[in-house]
């Protein structure tokens, strides 16, 4: 069989070419050719027709007759990580873990490998970013100087695969996939074609050998996962690290999981000795004001299975000729929409004001249940009046000015009451049937109702 050679495939029409061209010769689209490897030297089309004639037809099964199997998992022993993984690492499973540089990916994975090794697993840490000595230094800092984890400092894919095949660890970490390159491709390490090709080879190896592989991926400065995003469909589980590097709290969120629930989160605190799980995290995203301040409203968000109390802050200020809308940790487009609803349906205008909103602690809130808290904090800042002590709110707001229910409202209210909150403004459909001890609940149907209630009764 001929040696594998580089080929360029058009992402638009699927046509192939032996050379890279700016314009696809088949469909005439620009900048669509990407580098790949042609196996066995035959073109895509011929490969298909020859495969058709060589392979016998496969048997198919009826769904009801296939025996469903529970996946068996190896818990890492790090509880918060196991929670996001859905109970542990699955044999032959491939996990992608992304996040900003310096957020703690290498730290967490070294701790996880050591924990698995201590429970009798065989683990391999492949480092492409640091030398073995640097990894050892980190291990010392984490108090893992006696660790039995094997370390390989290597970036060439072929050598990594050969080592994995001979060592056959139960779990291997590749830190990071952007540093790995294949000799077969001429493009630079870290380029999209290198990252994709290397990840595809490693995924195939995981499936054939039963080794669980964890790929580390960096997020670029712009916040896009240049490398990792293209890998999300290949892997079984995708985890992302969130949090501000200057605060010690870190969230690990599952955004795809073939073996467990998505949107589950693990909460950690970065300490002098690595990441420590925070088992009761509901109050960590509240800032400590001794007295209530204007522009602050606490909401209860439900991340995975646990409710979290998060403070939403708003600052509304006289603007120049073009008012600015800025949001950190919340959707920017949604902010513009909410301001329009606030104006049309509640008569609160911010047209000549800059509006800044922030979810405290670097947490990202994607659920619309934050809407009501965002608008109440904006109104509070605009009027310069603080919401009462012990106040919480949640609820989605629609374009018609209605306040829609949030999923699992009771759980949210109970958590707030448990943490000593005493007044809640919530959607009517979330109103509890039985009184919750210590909590006065105001249920509202419309956004103007919520704004008036807070303005007249509570300020
Ligand atoms: P690291 O795991 O290297 O991040 P990533 O692999 O995601 O780039 O984390 C490095 C940061 O964590 C660095 O700023 C130092 C800090 N750190 C601690 O605070 N405590 C520790 O025990 C360790 C090992 C790191
Ligand atoms: Mg690292």
State the average pLDDT over residues 293-309.
88
| Measured distance CA(455)–CA(408) in Å, rounded | 27
102 C-alpha to ligand 1 centroid (Å): 6
Q: What is the pLDDT, as a whole number, of residue 278?
A: 87
> Which two structure tokens, joined as six digits, stand for 119?
């429970």
Which segments of 39-134 are extended strands (E)?
Answer: 94-99, 123-127
**3.40.109.10, 3.30.565.10, 3.40.50.300, 3.40.50.10490: CATH of 79-279:** 3.40.50.300
Protein fold of 296-458: Ribosomal Protein S5; domain 2 (3.30.230)
| Measured distance CA(84)–CA(310) in Å, rounded | 20
Q: What is the pLDDT, as a whole number, of residue 42?
A: 47
Q: What is the pLDDT, as a whole number, of residue 222?
A: 53
| Measured distance CA(1)–CA(406) in Å, rounded | 60
In the chain, helix, strand, coil percent, each to 5?
A: 30, 30, 40
Q: What is the pLDDT, as a whole number, of residue 417?
A: 92
| Measured distance CA(377)–CA(451) in Å, rounded | 10
119 lines ligand 1 (CB under 6 A): no
Q: What is the pLDDT, as a whole number, of residue 249?
A: 87
Q: How confident is the model at residue 47 (pLDDT cuts 50, 70, 90)?
A: very low
148 C-alpha to ligand 2 centroid (Å): 20
- What residues have their beta carbon closer than 5 A to ion ligand 2? 106
107 lines ligand 1 (CB under 6 A): yes
Mutate to test the pocket of ligand 1, among 96, 99, 103, 104 (most ligand atoms within 8 A of CB): 104
Main-chain phi, psi angles of 183, to 5 degrees? -60, -25
Q: CB atoms < 10 A from the CB of 6, how many?
A: 16
22 lines ligand 1 (CB under 6 A): no
Q: How confident is the model at residue 255 (pLDDT cuts 50, 70, 90)?
A: confident
Q: What is the pLDDT, as a whole number, of residue 1?
A: 45
Mutate to test the pocket of ligand 1, among 107, 250, 272 (most ligand atoms within 8 A of CB): 107
SS3 428: helix
Any idea which ligand is nearest the CA of 271? 1
| Measured distance CA(160)–CA(156) in Å, rounded | 6
Q: What is the pLDDT, as a whole number, of residue 2?
A: 47
- pLDDT of 163 over the 90 cut: yes
142 lines ligand 1 (CB under 6 A): yes
Q: What is the pLDDT, as a whole number, of residue 446?
A: 97
Mean of pLDDT over the chain:
88
Question: CB under 8 Å to 159, separation ≥6 — which residues?
Answer: none
The region that residue 226 occupies, defined by phi over 0 for left and psi between -120 and 50 for alpha, beta otherwise, is alpha
Q: CB atoms < 10 A from the CB of 78, how many?
A: 22
Indicate the domain borders of the chain. Answer: 5-50, 79-279, 296-458
Ligand 1: which atom is nearest the Cα of residue 110?
2
Q: Where are the alpha helices (DSSP H) in 347-370?
A: none
Nearest-CA neighbor of 96 among 260, 250, 233, 275?
A: 233
Q: Which of 261-270, 295-304, 343-352 has the lowest mean pLDDT?
A: 261-270
179 lines ligand 1 (CB under 6 A): no
Q: Which of 36-45, 256-265, 432-441 has the lowest mean pLDDT?
A: 36-45
Q: What is the DSSP letter of 145?
A: T
> Which two structure tokens, joined as six digits, stand for 368?
């619309």
218 lines ligand 1 (CB under 6 A): no
Q: What is the pLDDT, as a whole number, of residue 220?
A: 63
110 lines ligand 1 (CB under 6 A): no
Q: What is the pLDDT, as a whole number, of residue 242?
A: 84
Q: What is the pLDDT, as a whole number, of residue 401?
A: 96
- pLDDT of 228 over the 80 cut: no
* Most confident by average pLDDT, 167-176, 224-233, 258-267: 167-176
151 C-alpha to ligand 1 centroid (Å): 18
Any idea which ligand is nearest the CA of 178? 2
98 lines ligand 1 (CB under 6 A): no
Helix (H) or strand (E) holding 358: strand 353-359
In the chain, pLDDT over 90 holds for what percent of residues?
Answer: 58
pTM value > 0.85: no
Q: Would you state the torsion angle of the CA atoms of residues 125, 100, 86, 307, taken in this order, to the nearest 10 degrees?
A: 150
Q: What is the pLDDT, as a whole number, of residue 41?
A: 47
DSSP per residue, 188-247: PTTSHHHHHHHHHHHHHHHHHH--EEEEEEEPPTTS--TTGGGGTTTSSEEEEEES-TTS
| Measured distance CA(245)–CA(119) in Å, rounded | 31
At 53-83, the pLDDT tens digits run 678 888 898 988 888 777 788 899 899 999 9
At 329-345, the pLDDT tens digits run 899 899 999 999 999 99
Q: How confident is the model at residue 50 (pLDDT cuts 50, 70, 90)?
A: low
């Amino acid at each position: 069989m001929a040696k594998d050679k580089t080929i360029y495939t058009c992402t638009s029409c699927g046509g192939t070419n032996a050379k890279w061209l700016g314009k696809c010769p088949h469909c005439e689209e620009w900048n669509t050719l990407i580098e790949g490897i042609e196996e066995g030297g035959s073109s895509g089309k011929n490969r298909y027709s020859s495969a058709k004639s060589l392979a016998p037809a496969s048997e198919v099964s009826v769904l009801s007759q296939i025996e469903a199997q529970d996946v068996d998992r190896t818990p890492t022993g790090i509880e918060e990580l196991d929670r996001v993984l859905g109970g542990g690492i699955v044999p032959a499973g491939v996990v992608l873990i992304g996040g900003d540089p310096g957020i703690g990916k290498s730290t967490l994975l070294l701790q996880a490998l050591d924990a698995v090794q201590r429970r009798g697993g065989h683990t391999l840490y492949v480092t492409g970013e640091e030398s073995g000595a640097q990894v050892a230094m980190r291990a010392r800092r984490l108090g893992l100087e006696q660790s039995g984890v094997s370390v390989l400092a290597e970036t060439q894919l072929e050598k990594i695969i050969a080592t994995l095949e001979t060592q056959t660890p139960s779990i291997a970490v590749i830190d990071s996939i952007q540093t790995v390159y294949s000799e077969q491709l001429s493009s630079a390490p870290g380029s999209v074609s290198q990252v994709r090709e290397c990840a595809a080879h490693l995924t195939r190896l995981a499936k054939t050998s039963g080794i669980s592989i964890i790929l580390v991926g960096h997020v670029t400065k712009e916040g896009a996962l240049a490398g990792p995003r293209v890998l999300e469909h290949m892997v079984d589980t995708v985890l992302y690290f969130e949090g501000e590097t200057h605060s010690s709290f870190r969230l690990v969120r599952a955004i795809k999981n073939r073996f467990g629930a998505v949107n589950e989160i693990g909460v950690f605190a970065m300490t002098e000795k690595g990441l420590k799980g925070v088992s009761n995290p509901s109050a960590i995203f509240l800032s400590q004001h001794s007295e209530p301040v204007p522009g602050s409203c606490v909401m209860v968000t439900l991340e995975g299975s646990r409710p979290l109390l998060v403070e939403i802050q708003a600052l509304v200020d006289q603007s120049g000729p073009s008012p600015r809308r800025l949001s950190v940790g919340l959707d920017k487009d949604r902010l513009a929409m909410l301001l329009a609803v606030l104006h049309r349906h509640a008569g609160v205008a911010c047209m000549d004001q800059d509006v800044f909103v922030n979810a405290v602690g670097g947490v990202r809130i994607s659920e619309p249940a934050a809407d009501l808290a965002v608008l109440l904090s904006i109104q509070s800042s605009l009027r310069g009046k603080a919401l009462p002590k012990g106040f919480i709110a949640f609820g989605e707001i629609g374009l018609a000015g209605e306040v829609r229910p949030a999923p699992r409202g009771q759980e949210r209210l109970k958590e707030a009451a448990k943490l000593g909150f005493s007044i809640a403004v919530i959607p009517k459909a979330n109103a509890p049937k039985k009184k919750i001890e210590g909590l006065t609940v105001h249920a509202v149907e419309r956004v103007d109702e919520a704004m008036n209630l807070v303005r007249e009764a509570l300020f």
